[in-house]
Amino acid sequence: MTGAVLLVLPIGIPWLLAAVLALADGRRRWVGLLAAAGLGASLVSLGFLASAVLREGAVEVVSGGWPIGVGISLRADALGVTFAAVSVGVILVSTLYEISLGVRWRVFPALVLLVAAGLNGLFLTGDAFNFYVFFEVSMTASFVLAGYREEDYQVRAAFLFAVINLLGSVVFLIGIAALYSITGSLDMETISRRAEGLEPSSVIVIAAVIFAAFCLKLGLFPFHFWLPAVYVGSHAPVAAILSGSLANIGSYGILRFGAGVLPRELELGSVAVMALGAASIVYGGLQAISRRDTSEVMAYSAIGQVGYILLAVGVGAPVGYAAAILYSVVNSLNKGVVFLAAGLRGPLVGGAFAVGAFSIAGVPPAAGFVGKIAVFKAAIAANPTFASLALVALIFAGSALSFLYSFQVYQRRFVKPDPRAPDKPSPRAARLLVAALAALVVLLGLWPEPLVYLSEAAAAVLTGGSG
Amino acid sequence: MTLFSALVVSVVFASGTFLLLQRDLLRTVVGIVLISNSATLFIVSAGLTRGAAPIYPLPEDGGVSDPLVQGMALTALIIGFAVAALLLAMVYRLYATHGTVDAEEISDAEMREAEALERADDPEKEEVPTEEQEPEEEEARAR
Amino acid sequence: MDVAWVPSWEVRLALSLDGLAALYALLATGIGFAVLVYSSRYLPLHLEHEGRPGSDAPRFYFFVLLFMGSMVGLAMAQDLILVFVFWDLTSIASYYLIGYDGHKGESRASALMALLVTGITAVLLLVGALLLYAEHGTFSVPELARMVEPGPLLTAAGFLIVVAGLAKSAQAPLHFWLPRAMAAPTPVSAYLHSAAMVAAGVLLIGRVYPLLQKSEPLLDALLVFGIASMAVGGVLALTRDALKQLLAYSTIAQYGFVVTMYGLGGPYGAGGAAYYVIVHAIAKSALFLTAGAVTEATGQDRLSKLGGLRGSMPLLAVSSGLAAATLTSLPLTLGFFADEFFFAAALERGPVLVGLAVASAATTLAYTWRFWSGLFLGEVRAVARRIPRLLIAPVVALGATGLIGGFFTGPFEGLAEAAGEVSLAAPTPLDATYHPEILPEYVMAAGAYALGTVFILTRPVWTRAALGVSKLGKIAGPERVYGLVVHRLNLFSDFVHRLEIRNLRGRVAAVLLPTAVLVGASVLATPTSGAYHVGPLRVEEAPLILVMLAVAVAAITTTFTRRHVTLALVLSSAGFALAVAYAFYGAPSVTLVAVLVETLLTVLLVATLKLIPYEVLHRQAELPLARTRRDVFVSVAAGAFAFVVVWGALSQPPAGQTVAEDHVRLAPQAQAKNVVTAILADFRGLDTLGEITVIALVLLGVGTLLGGVRPEALPADSGPPGTSGSTRPAARAVTQEVARLLYLPTLVVAAAILVKGFVQTGDGFSAGVVGALGVLLRYLAFGHEEAKRLPPVRHATAIAFSGLLVALGVAAFPLFAGEAVLTHSPPPGTEPVHLGTLELMTAVLFDFGVFLLVFGFAVGASSFFARASEASGAWGDGPR
């Protein structure tokens, strides 16, 4: 298959399928399974795309066959494919999970498919405005999804989620329009080239608002206040999709627009980036410790975990970007495991959650330790020495906090006998799924080379692209 | 004109954010609509050329206005409208479940639920080992 | 074995069975075997005692085997990352084994403590390894040993690794988790203390010893921690009443010996340490298993409740006596030489260390005696039941090993020498034979026995002091610090949680303010001269300026409008003013859509207002508009950052060519007269696809939120009477007639807009909205009851999604022809086939898809709102 077709498949399959399935009753099992099959096909095509990208470099297609810039260029490189694969993977597992519990909404399969289509689109586009459009596709789908099951608190969370994130979208849109206004192009590579020739003073303000929009998406302190309510309120698979897939928009966006398009501005602002990351690690960790609800602990944990990504981005250079990518991937999987496990009861669930908790704390063989190594490596590579020391100390403190909160809640929820708990275990299929995802996390910890290789290839895209 | 456009855009944006900060959820939606509008206005005014409508036959004397920003503005406008419609539906839904469109009252409901959760159990103490209550051998023998 | 594991990081799966590995692997499997044999009898009793099902047993064996496997792996690992992995695996195994009785709070707390202390310090090991890697580019211990030079880096990295090792070996001040870990079932305690977990710490020190010994400060640190642990462990072991507690503190002291020996260095230090580990493993596991057997037999686990068991359990008494003798280094046991090597190493460092060594050995004698005599001698305090023989057999075997080893030291000596050689990177000849002459070591040993005997005999004299130390430890010791830290962190977490912003307004402000700060900071960070231009205000732009002023005024008016209907009107006037502004900007397409969007939005807004009872809205309208200083400040800050970005961007038009020029140039090739339409349907058709997908999504969302049931699912006569058109006042008749008349024409107009789009202003979106307006008019005239029977209303969702499918199909079809996605046909430059005025081209089909979708959306969304209003009428005024 040619690259041009391969590039379109991951986006097109879920998109078309969503348009078809929107009319079917998603509560029927076959509809859900068909949607899952579509997600699976999308994931498989991403796998082929990844191997093509790693073999031959970035694959690019301009829509309509027009010259670059005139048409929208879709561009798959290692960075985008990595994020897309992880995000779709988490969505796929969450969808299967919900199917096994019983889908409650007719439109649920269409919504998850569109989240996936939008995410794949934004990870694989090379056009800044098109990024915004795909961003809105996945966000709008998730606004609706956040209200899934329609409990009072879920509708409330959905509204909160929508309002805050729309505000972020508008801020981001202003940033994109401003980029066009100063460079005369929407193609990311062209923007990057032209922005290099401009005075930093006119670009950095734009970089600041774009960065703020992604921080909001990522749920970074102090942009995070919407996040706990939404993650706690959402039904488990929705929370997993929000934290394991959609949050990736933030880290990907910061990497793509910061390190890829506006590297000079990122470097100018690296102190701010690291400061925000540091604040997030400490704040999220502290908040998480005494929260009662498992999902709430993990929501605050998510705030802390993205701090590491920011630290690594702030350090910059291939080692920093690779660490940020690696950590994002691992963090997605962790969040998928813990949020899904938090929604279940019965055998295997505790074990799966424990794997997630060990991964968050960075204990091998769960994959989290690979991320922690990468982040430590980045911190050690930072300049000057005292900054490096401070970063190492901070990451150490953060992981100490993560040990405490992960296992306090693990013991409370899964080890301590709960007299109020219903004896009936959750459906076996759901438990097996979570266990399988946890097994994947362990497998990636036991054989981390693919992850490491992929993250370094993806980081090379960023540093190679910006010269 | 540059400064003037920027001023108008930011005034619309600021008005929108002011409405977002109100307790009335409908005003929140209106605020979102306004800030979307400010973005659209900015996109259109960010056009790199000004002139006649970009429709063939092109005017011979002068240039045409930037068609790309118009395309972007249209897309942004429609997306903004669509999500505003979604927000309206959500507001109605919130009203239907909470009986109010007041953000404060709805936040109170959230706080009540959160506090109920916090009160539910006081778990952290038990994860700290209790003070070692073990008697020393001598004391134990004495008893 | 040495294969690449993570080649990108040069991490290798390097395992090698060298001397050190052989020693610890033998211990882990040998003692492990004894423990497993013991467990096969012990565990069923334990489970029965705890009232747990037998099905919990496999879990136990799984983690014991994992423990064993990871210890063997750790022993053989030559790569620091691999060491870290196995290291944490032992922590995981011990975590689950210590917390095996998870239903007990004490057990959970102890497991957590062990995990936190050993897990968090393990991160230090990782940091140390990475520091070394950053400098030398390898994780391999042998390679590092060749490369490292003494210096601050080695000291720092080595210190981090040593701390990890000491924490795992339960050395003061990180020793407190070990006595707690006694919450584990007894076989686990035995294993944990002798051959796994705690042994892993000194194993690590032995493994990286080639590096450590290059740094004097590190050796001194080892010495200090070792001696402190000997003191703390020894003194506290003299005070404990619970059997396992006593043994736990003795372990702390004994590993203190090992650490001290490493600190002393030299052949007797490094080789002797290895030898000591063997002795300790054999003796200590036997003593633990003894404690378990005794507890199982009597039901008691405290010295104060036990005594005089020599009669009822003679075999156990003798065997554990042998083990105790081995531990206290009595002559003719394997343990004798352990102390000899210790003394030999101490002798090289002067009298102070000699004194300390003798005192420590004497303490060992004292508490070991206390343990053994307390169990087996004295008056009978507890009755022993018969217990399975397999609970005693391992003790017998281990005790016998201690005795036999005293005569055949060869194998043990060889093991220790090989291990010491790995650590020291030099031969460590050990001499485990009895000498006829009086060596200084013998004198020290004799002194230790004598002093130990004195300790035993003068017990009442020092008991108070020892208890005082114990009390002090409880008040200010590290365990108390741990508890306080955890507790305070929880309290602090509650405290910060109360500061969390948890209302919508605060959350909005918390987005805007940091953004403003970021933008402000970036303005301050860069020179701004020349970045901003005022730009001339030209007279011919006066209309635009006036309209823009109107926009601004309308926007400001929204901030103090009270009534909702007025607010909706002000909002729409702002929107219409904007539409006019777009016209002056030379953007008629945007104007058209803006007008339509504004109309639809106003309709939906008013529909929502209608849905919510007047009182509820009125209450909001009556609220004092919270023009608090905070709100004003936040929105001014938000406006300010928007202003800076917008002004900055507008001030810097690009120097080079813009892509829009290409769009204008290429539009004819896309068969379009209107460049904007060409952009929407062709150049940037992907954006349009995304945009209509958002619309489709909103339709799904609105439908779900406003009822969850699609209109066609609703029975035709379900509406309450009184809302249908037939009962409306007759005055409506005219409107109704107009609506009926206009219904079809609007669709025709819509079709015209659609077709003409490529030539003039117009596009699928506008066509869709216009078409929908016809349906909306029917709604206004007839109400939902009548309108919902219209085919477009019944099938709105289907129409919308078939539109999406059409558009997606047009986009995807070229792929089959091997062309880029969204390539339209006919290709650029070819004249399209005309069917009347209709041009047959895929771009038009694409636009038709957009039309269908927007039409379906506008009709569908309106009908959802209308139906909700009907339903809310049925419910009355109150909420559901």
**pLDDT tens figures, C664-687:** 888 888 877 888 888 988 899 999
Mean per-residue pLDDT, A54-76: 90
pLDDT of residue C502: 80
Instruction: State the burial class of residue A40 (Cβ atoms within 10 Å of its Cβ: 0-12, 13-18, 19+).
Output: middle
Average pLDDT, chain C: 86
Confidence of residue C723 (pLDDT cuts 50, 70, 90): very low
CA distance linking residue A238 with residue A151, whole number of Å: 13
C653 touches chain B (CB under 8 A): yes
CA distance linking residue A427 with residue A346, whole number of Å: 9
Residue window 300-359, chain A: list those with CB within 8 Å of chain C: 358
Looking at the predicted structure, is the pLDDT value of residue C733 above 80?
no
**Residue of C105, C130, C648 lying closest to A377 (CB–CB):** C130
Show residues of chain B in contact with A162, CB under 8 Å. 83, 86-87, 90
Looking at the predicted structure, is the pLDDT value of residue C787 above 50?
yes
B12 touches chain A (CB under 8 A): no
pLDDT of residue C516: 93
Spatial neighbors of A442 by CB under 8 A, at least 6 apart, are: A355, A365, A366, A367
Instruction: State the burial class of residue C222 (Cβ atoms within 10 Å of its Cβ: 0-12, 13-18, 19+).
Output: buried
Looking at the predicted structure, is the pLDDT value of residue C119 above 80?
yes
Confidence of residue C728 (pLDDT cuts 50, 70, 90): very low
Spatial neighbors of A60 by CB under 8 A, at least 6 apart, are: A7, A68, A73, A74, A75, A76, A126
A182 touches chain B (CB under 8 A): no
Residue of C778, C776, C756 whose CA lies nearest to C767: C756
Asked if C595 and C582 count as a contact pair (C-beta separation under 8 A), the reply is no
Give, in order, the Cα–Cα distances in Å from C502 to each of A87, B113, C124.
29, 12, 37
Spatial neighbors of A158 by CB under 8 A, at least 6 apart, are: A143, A144, A146, A147, A230, B90
Spatial neighbors of A254 by CB under 8 A, at least 6 apart, are: A211, A214, A215, A218, A309, A310, A313
pLDDT of residue B135: 43
Mean per-residue pLDDT, C176-183: 90
Residue of A nearest to C492 (CA): A286
Show residues of chain C in contact with A388, CB under 8 Å. none
Looking at the predicted structure, is the pLDDT value of residue C39 above 80?
yes
Looking at the predicted structure, is the pLDDT value of residue C737 above 80?
no
Residue window 176-195, chain A: list those with CB within 8 Å of chain C: 177-179, 181-187, 190, 194
The chains in contact with chain C, meaning 3 or more Cβ pairs closer than 8 Å, are: A, B
| A384–chain B nearest CA distance, Å | 39
| B104–chain C nearest CA distance, Å | 7
Residue type, B111: M
| B52–chain A nearest CA distance, Å | 19
Q: How much of chain C exceeds pLDDT 70, in percent?
A: 92
Confidence of residue C626 (pLDDT cuts 50, 70, 90): low
Mean per-residue pLDDT, A310-338: 95
B109 touches chain A (CB under 8 A): yes
pLDDT of residue A466: 38
Spatial neighbors of C260 by CB under 8 A, at least 6 apart, are: C222, C223, C226, C227, C230, C342
The chains in contact with chain A, meaning 3 or more Cβ pairs closer than 8 Å, are: B, C
Kindly determine whether residue B87 and residue A166, on different chains, have CB atoms separated by under 8 Å. yes
Question: Per residue in C424-436, pLDDT tens?
Answer: 888 888 888 888 8
Question: Per residue in A446-465, pLDDT tens?
Answer: 999 999 999 999 999 998 74
Residue window 370-429, chain A: list those with CB within 8 Å of chain C: 372-373, 376-377, 380-381, 392, 396, 399-401, 403-404, 407-408, 411, 415-417
> Residue C2's beta-bridge partner residues?
C14
| C80–chain B nearest CA distance, Å | 32
Mean per-residue pLDDT, A334-361: 93
**Cα-Cα end-to-end distance for chain C:** 70
Looking at the predicted structure, is the pLDDT value of residue C716 above 90?
no
Question: Per residue in C319-345, pLDDT tens?
Answer: 999 999 999 999 889 999 999 899 999
Q: Which residues of C559-582 are buried (b: 16+ CB within 10 A; e: fewer)?
A: bebeebeebbbbbbbbbbbbbbbb
Please give the interface size between A and C, counted as residue pairs whose CB atoms are below 8 Å apart.
354
Question: Per residue in C249-290, pLDDT tens?
Answer: 999 999 999 999 999 988 888 999 999 999 999 999 999 999
CA distance linking residue C57 with residue B137, whole number of Å: 34
CA dihedral C61, C67, C69, C71 (to 10 degrees): -160
Confidence of residue C880 (pLDDT cuts 50, 70, 90): very low
Question: Per residue in C59-93, pLDDT tens?
Answer: 999 999 999 999 999 999 999 999 999 999 999 99
Mean per-residue pLDDT, C719-748: 57
Kindly determine whether residue A162 and residue B86, on different chains, have CB atoms separated by under 8 Å. yes
Residue of C645, C17, C310, C184 whose CA lies nearest to A204: C645
Question: Per residue in A260-289, pLDDT tens?
Answer: 999 999 999 999 999 999 999 999 999 999
**Residue of A144, A159, A290 lying closest to B94 (CB–CB):** A159
Kindly determine whether residue A159 and residue B118, on different chains, have CB atoms separated by under 8 Å. no
pLDDT of residue B119: 65
pLDDT of residue C837: 63
Residue type, A193: R
> Residue C839's beta-bridge partner residues?
C834
Kind of pairing between the strands at A59-62 and C838-840: unpaired
| C243–chain A nearest CA distance, Å | 27
CA distance linking residue C577 with residue C571, whole number of Å: 10
pLDDT of residue C451: 93
Mutate to test the interface with B, among C679, C688, C689 (most CBs of B within 10 A): C679
Give, in order, the Cα–Cα distances in Å from C230 to each of C254, C361, C451.
7, 9, 16
Show residues of chain B in contact with C502, CB under 8 Å. 107, 110-111, 114
Confidence of residue C875 (pLDDT cuts 50, 70, 90): very low
**Residue of C109, C564, C638 lying closest to B127 (CB–CB):** C109
Looking at the predicted structure, is the pLDDT value of residue C710 above 50?
no
